[in-house]
Structures are given as C-alpha cells and as structure tokens.
C-alpha cells in the first residue's frame, strides 16, 4: 500500500480541511451584496448577458433617482425624431436666455455662452448632453422634444416599463427633492441597454453615434474603473449633490464589451449614501468588475 494511502487511512481528511483546500466561490449576487455594503446607502443592480444566466439582481425593481442617466433615453428620442424627419442633427437650435440655469449649474455650454442668445447645432447639443452631461443642453433638448412626457411615451413605446421622467435639470437644481420623482428601475435600464445592443430602434449609423458619445462620457471611474485596460464601455452616469453628508444619487449604466465580443448590459444605482465619492465610485467599479469576470467565465 502506498504511503499516501496509508496516511489517508490513519489521518482522514476532515470536512473542515476540505473546505480550507477548496474554498467556496460566492455567487455573483452574494459578491455584489457584499460589495454594495461598502456604499453605506441603498444599492440597486441589474445586468444581462446573451447566452448566459448571469444574475446581478440586487433590488432590481427599486426606483432610484436617476439624475443625468435620463440624458441617454432623451438622446434616443432626439435621434428617433431625426430619423422621422422632424429634426435634423445639422439644424441650429436657439439657446435662449430663459434656458440658462441660474445661479449656477454644470454646463460647458452656459460657461461658453453666459448670456445665451446663440444658435447651436442639434448634434452638438446632444453630444454635450450625453458625453459631458451638460445640464443646460439637456434642458434645451427636453424643450425641443416637448418635455419629459414625450420621453416617457417614447421609452414606453419600446416596450420598456420602469422609467419615469418628470422634471428637467432646472427644476431639480432649485428643489433637491424633485430628483426622487425621476427614477429608473435597474432592470428597465438594462432592458433599454439590451435593446440598443441587440435590436436597436435606431439605424446602425445613429446607434453607433450614440454609443460613441456614451463611450466618451465623463465619470470613467465608475463602471470602467476596475476593468482591464482597453475594455470598451459605453455608459451614462448620473450624480447628485451631497446634502448634509448624504449623496442622493451616484449612478452608472452601460454596455461593457467582453473579450469574446458579447455585450454585458449593467446598471448600478447608489442612493442616499453617506460614503465619500471615491468609495461610492469604487463600489460601482467593483460591481462592474465582478459582473465582467462572471460573464467572461460563461463562454
């Protein structure tokens, strides 16, 4: 009898020893729940990956305030109107003095033209809204398409429930409580991303244009903050102010391209967090990486 066999008879391997040698691997949902605890707030997550049963669900039907995440669905409607022929990306749109958000709001457009009263191409307004999260540009687009109700109706027409836009940036900047009336269920955000990726309601050209704006979007330290260098991420973040130590919204939704070319759709919303911004963003980045790694193992 070999020595190792004799040893196993004399000193049987206990279950505790086995578990130490082969540690259990947490499910993706368990990993996400543990990561989310670091946000010290409410975290809601959903994801989807073709050809897999990937499950990121953490309160996926919550109604977190979406902040600037709404600018992606708004841009979808603008491009839809362009394809209908009622708008043109090359048309000039008047930036009116009444469009300004005063006394101050983040807006490269308003910084460049503090007195307004200029014409701006629709293409540039849409790019500023999506890529730079320009608040004034977004409100001009809202005015142009007929207001929040038109965005709601268009998203609903795509078969997506769980999206509600009621107020523009100007209103939210003057009443912090209004942001909670603009919400996006993580599951619905993922459904919209999935639609864009798999069966876009837009032409191929306009889909690529919107994804290029999302790829160039600010807030790169979130979903793409912990991914392998060079990973393509098309995303839209949303961020609130911090009031009395509470960050109402730190969000990111996007499409992450896996090494095999599949697109992982994921939405992470951090609501009413008392953690520092770097911590909130790291939570989103770690959740994105956990989903990325789990998705890469499925193929």
Question: Which CATH number characterizes residue 262's domain?
Answer: 3.40.710.10
Q: What pLDDT is recorded for position 216?
A: 82
* Residue 103, domain member (yes or no): yes
131 as an active site residue: the answer is no
Residue 106 tokens, joined: 């983040």
- 282 inside domain: yes
- pTM reported for the whole predicted model: 0.90
pLDDT at site 19 = 36
Query: Which of the following is catalytic: 16, 19, 24, 68?
Result: 68
In a domain, 127, yes or no: yes
Enumerate residue ranges in the chain where pLDDT < 50.
1-24
For residue 163, the enclosing domain spans 26-296
Q: Is 128 within a domain?
A: yes
CA-closest candidate to residue 264, choices 245, 289, 285, 242: 289
The predicted structure's pLDDT at residue 184: 98
Is residue 12 domain-resident?
Answer: no
DSSP-assigned letters across all residues of 32-65:
HHHHHGGGSSEEEEEEE-TTS-----BSTT---B
The Cβ-side half-sphere exposure at 247, using a 13 Å CA radius, reads 21
Q: Is residue 19 part of a domain?
A: no
Indicate the number of domains in the chain: 1
């Amino acid at each position: 009898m070999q020595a190792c066999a004799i040893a196993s008879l004399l000193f049987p391997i206990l279950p505790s020893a086995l578990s130490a040698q082969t540690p259990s691997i947490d499910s993706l949902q368990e990993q996400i729940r543990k990561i989310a605890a670091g946000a010290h707030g409410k975290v809601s997550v959903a994801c989807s990956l073709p050809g897999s049963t990937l499950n990121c669900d953490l309160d996926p039907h919550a109604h977190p305030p979406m902040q600037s995440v709404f600018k992606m669905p708004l841009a979808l409607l603008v491009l839809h109107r362009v394809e209908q022929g009622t708008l043109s990306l090359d048309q000039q749109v008047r930036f009116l003095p009444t469009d300004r958000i005063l006394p101050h709001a983040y807006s490269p457009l308003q910084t460049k033209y503090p007195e307004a009263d200029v014409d701006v191409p629709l293409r540039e307004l849409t790019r500023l809204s999506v890529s730079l999260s320009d608040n004034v540009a977004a409100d001009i687009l809202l005015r142009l398409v007929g207001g929040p109700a038109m965005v709601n109706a268009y998203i609903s027409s795509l078969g997506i429930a769980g999206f509600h836009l009621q107020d523009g940036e100007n209103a939210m900047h003057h009443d912090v409580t209004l942001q909670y009336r603009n919400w996006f269920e993580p599951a619905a955000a993922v459904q919209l991303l999935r639609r864009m990726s798999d069966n876009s309601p837009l032409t191929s050209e306009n889909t690529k244009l919107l994804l290029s704006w999302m790829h160039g979007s600010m807030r790169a330290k979130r979903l793409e903050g912990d991914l392998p260098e060079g990973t393509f991420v098309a995303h839209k973040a949303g961020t609130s102010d911090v009031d009395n130590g509470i960050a109402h919204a730190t969000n990111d939704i996007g499409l992450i391209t896996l090494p095999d070319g599949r697109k992982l759709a994921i939405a992470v919303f951090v609501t009413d967090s008392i953690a520092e911004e770097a911590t909130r963003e790291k939570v989103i980045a770690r959740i994105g990486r956990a989903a990325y790694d789990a998705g890469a193992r499925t193929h």
